[in-house]
Amino acid sequence: MVAKKSGMGRGFDEIIPKNAIKVSSDISESISDTVKGISSEGISSEKILSESTMYNVELLKRITLDAERNPRITIYSPFLVAMLRYLRYTMPAFSMSEEARDMLEESMELKYPDLADEIRKEMEKRA
């Protein structure tokens, strides 16, 4: 019997290709907005140039589709759990999940603004 592959435990190798391309902003100015390339799986795909990084369109499609099907993550932090639980018990209508999601999304968008824009665009295409 073949075990069904779950969405958990695939790690960064599954979502970030080993040959991911980083382009400095100096070089990116001289390159057109889109270029053709090969993804880590050997599938020809378009890559989008966004300020200092190229994004693999095929990979963006795959991970955003997977994220919409399985939108949960797990974070190990006794400190955060203690803070969130305290707030849940002391503030009416406090949602641990909403607070964690809002804070994590905001900080990731601040740290990786170009990637956040590309992922939002890809998700909006299917909305």
CB-CB contact of 61 with 47 (8 Å):
no
10, pLDDT greater than 60: no
Which region holds residue 115: left if phi is over 0, alpha if psi is between -120 and 50, else beta?
A: alpha
Per-residue pLDDT, 126: 83
Q: What is the pLDDT of residue 55?
A: 86
Looking at residue 53, its pLDDT comes to: 67
Tell me the per-residue pLDDT of 63-118, one tens digit each, with 9 for 90 and over.
Answer: 999 999 999 999 999 999 999 999 999 999 999 999 999 999 999 999 999 999 99
DSSP conformation letters of 8-28: SS-HHHHHS-TT--B--HHHH
What was the pLDDT predicted at 124? 93
> Which pTM was predicted?
0.56
Which pLDDT score is estimated for 105? 96
Domains of the chain by residue range? 11-126
Q: Which uninterrupted H or E stretch holds 52?
A: none
Q: What is the pLDDT of residues 17-76, one digit of tens each?
A: 554 444 444 434 433 333 334 334 444 445 555 455 688 889 999 999 999 999 999 999
